[in-house]
């Protein structure tokens, strides 16, 4: 656990009295790609959002680069190099694509190299270069997701959490997006934790896989070595 | 020629109205707060400028060096200490708190400065300039310059700086802004500070143009409201345009029909373009 970049230990997050995540633990290695899968309502999104500081955990600890970040506000967590690309991307619809991207470099670590980062994002997503002056609200779903991903890259993060970036997108677009994410992972050594509905895809993309069921992590291991029947039982609880 | 004169006067006045609206629009669009004390803040700015100018014997415009930073700090402080707390309990409590602030300010002004009418005198208050055959009041020209420069400066700030972008980002999606590293409450305080800084400039203009009393705030709140609604929330070009339209309505309608025409305009805009002239 000590060499983990992000480690979540016994995390419990409640909405009112209902525990959406209950004593879940997982750890993300530096430079690797990890996947988090599970049925709807298993608590994947809540777990990512709690790690990004959007929910105050009821119990448990979150460590990032060996430091306790439990209960810190989101802006403080971004500052330390942990970024969340939330479900649906959540671009700023009335701002131009370029302003959206520049917002990603708001925290001091991103601001230093904002210009270079911007060029890198445009190289990665040439479609955004063409639309840089257009309001993000006018983009297609895939382009909006690109903007959201690019915005996260702009923060120069050590680790990015992706919450179902494939939601509502065409297979070709999804394939394309994941290819770019893998490029960044390979070139920048940015660690990735992604939530994905498509189990097969998640297993192919990742080195490590976690399965969640009813708020807890029920299975974890190297993606290539998990047995399908184990995944099935961890996923459905049967 | 008379029509041209009318239009010029209307447009010149419109700059001031836009400035009155822009602070209100900012708080509406970004903080999500209906600031019922905006008119009183304008009057506080008017008192500050008038008294400072009289006390030091300088041109009222120079007092901006003091009143703008002062009002910025008051705004940021109020947001931190008061409005942010009230907003945690919902929109209605926050609205009532701003109403309370407006009453407190009005009574405080009455207590401190009595109910006497005030006015910021200038050397050029009654002078006119003849441009292309039209007589233009020098005062209106100066006030227009101050107002439009302030609005453009604000617009540049919002579009070209990290803080300005953060303000717009918070108004679009506060949660996503915090995920980009923005401290939302601090941005609220910054926005309120800027809104009060614009109120300080608007107050100076009001003080130089008209006489004012501790109870004049309501009138300027109303103007700000109308300009914001006609212009559309969060659109600075819209606010400028709305200010001009409102200014024209005032000049064309004169003392008798000015407000009536403005209300009719407001009704028409609300019916056919509920998101404002340039709202999306």
Confidence of residue B49 (pLDDT cuts 50, 70, 90): very high
| Nearest neighbour of A95 by CB, restricted to B162, B172, B179 | B172
Round to whole Å and give the CA distance between A101 and B166: 12
pLDDT (average), residues B91-104 = 95
Q: What does the pLDDT read at residue B263?
A: 87
Q: Where are the domains of chain B?
A: 2-115+122-272
Mean model confidence pLDDT for chain A: 94
- Residue A213 confidence (pLDDT): 95
CA dihedral B190, B191, B193, B195 (to 10 degrees): 170
Q: How confident is the model at residue A73 (pLDDT cuts 50, 70, 90)?
A: very high
* Whole-angstrom distance, CA of residue B224 vs CA of residue A132: 34
A54, A94, A106 ranked by CB distance to B180: nearest: A106
- What residue spans define the domains of chain A? 4-236
The alpha-carbon gap from B11 to the nearest alpha carbon of chain A, in Å, equals 28
Mean pLDDT over residues B11-17, rounded? 94
CB atoms A107 and B169 under 8 Å: no
Chain B residues with CB under 8 Å of A110 CB are 181
Among all residues of chain A, which has the CA nearest to that of B159? A99
By Cβ distance, the residue of B159, B166, B179 closest to A52 is: B179
The answer on pLDDT for A207 being more than 70 is yes
Rounded Cα distance between B195 and B200, Å, is 9
- Residues B191-195: what's their mean pLDDT? 97
Residue A1: is its pLDDT beyond 70?
no
* pLDDT > 60? residue A114: yes
Q: Quick check: B278 pLDDT over 80?
A: no
Residue with tokens 């208050």: B125
- C-alpha distance from B47 to closest chain A C-alpha (Å): 37
The answer to whether A87 touches A167, Cβ cutoff 8 Å, is yes
ipTM: 0.92
* pLDDT of B181 strictly over 50: yes
Domain B2-115+122-272 has CATH 2.60.40: no
Instruction: Write down the pTM of the prediction.
Output: 0.92
Model confidence at B280: pLDDT above 70: no
pLDDT in tens, A45-69: 999 999 999 999 999 999 999 999 9
- Which pLDDT score, from 0 to 100, does residue B233 have? 74
Say which CATH topology domain A4-236 has. Rossmann fold (3.40.50)
């Amino acid at each position: 656990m000590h060499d983990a970049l992000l480690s979540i230990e016994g995390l419990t997050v409640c909405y009112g009295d209902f525990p959406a995540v209950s004593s879940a633990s997982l750890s993300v290695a530096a430079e690797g790609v990890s996947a988090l899968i599970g049925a709807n309502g298993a608590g994947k999104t809540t777990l990512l959002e709690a790690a990004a500081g959007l929910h105050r955990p009821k119990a448990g600890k979150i460590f990032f680069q060996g430091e306790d970040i439990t209960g810190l506000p989101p802006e403080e967590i971004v500052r330390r190099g942990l970024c969340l690309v939330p479900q649906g991307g959540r671009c700023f619809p009335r701002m131009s694509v370029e302003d959206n991207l520049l917002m990603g470099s708001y925290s001091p670590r991103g601001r230093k190299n904002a210009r270079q980062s911007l060029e890198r994002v445009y190289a990665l997503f040439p479609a955004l270069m063409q639309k840089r002056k257009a309001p993000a609200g006018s983009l297609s779903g895939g382009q909006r997701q690109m903007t959201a991903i690019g915005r996260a890259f702009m923060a120069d993060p050590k680790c990015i959490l992706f919450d179902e970036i494939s939601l509502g997108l065409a297979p070709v677009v999804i394939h394309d997006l994941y290819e770019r994410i893998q490029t960044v992972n390979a070139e920048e050594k940015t660690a990735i934790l992604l939530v994905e509905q498509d189990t097969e895809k998640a297993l192919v993309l990742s080195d490590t896989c976690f399965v969640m069921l009813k708020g807890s992590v029920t299975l974890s291991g190297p993606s290539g070595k998990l047995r399908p029947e184990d995944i099935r039982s961890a996923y459905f609880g049967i | 020629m008379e029509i041209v004169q009318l239009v010029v006067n209307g447009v010149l006045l419109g700059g001031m109205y836009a400035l009155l609206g822009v602070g209100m629009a900012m708080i509406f669009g970004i903080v999500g707060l209906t600031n019922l004390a905006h008119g009183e803040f304008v009057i506080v700015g008017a008192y500050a400028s008038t008294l400072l100018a009289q006390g030091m014997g300088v041109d009222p415009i120079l007092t901006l060096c003091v009143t703008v930073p002062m009002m910025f700090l008051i705004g940021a402080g109020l947001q931190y200490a008061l409005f942010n707390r009230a907003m945690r309990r919902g929109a209605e409590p926050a609205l009532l708190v701003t109403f309370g602030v407006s009453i407190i300010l009005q009574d405080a002004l009455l207590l401190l400065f009595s109910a006497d009418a005030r006015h910021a005198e200038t050397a050029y208050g009654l002078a006119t300039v003849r441009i292309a055959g039209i007589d233009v009041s020098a005062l209106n020209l100066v006030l227009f310059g101050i107002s439009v420069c302030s609005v453009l400066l604000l617009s540049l700030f919002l579009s070209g700086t990290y803080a300005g972008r953060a303000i717009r980002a918070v108004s679009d999606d506060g949660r996503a802004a915090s995920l980009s590293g923005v401290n939302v409450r601090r941005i609220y305080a910054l926005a309120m500070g800027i809104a009060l800084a614009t109120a300080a400039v608007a107050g100076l203009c009001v003080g130089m143009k008209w006489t004012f009393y501790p109870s004049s705030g309501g009138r300027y709140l109303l103007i700000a409201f109308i300009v914001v609604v006609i212009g559309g929330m969060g659109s600075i070009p819209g606010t400028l345009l709305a200010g001009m339209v409102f200014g024209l309505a005032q000049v064309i309608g004169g003392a008798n029909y000015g407000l009536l025409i403005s209300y009719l305009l407001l009704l028409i805009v609300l019916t056919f373009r509920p998101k404002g002239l340039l709202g999306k």
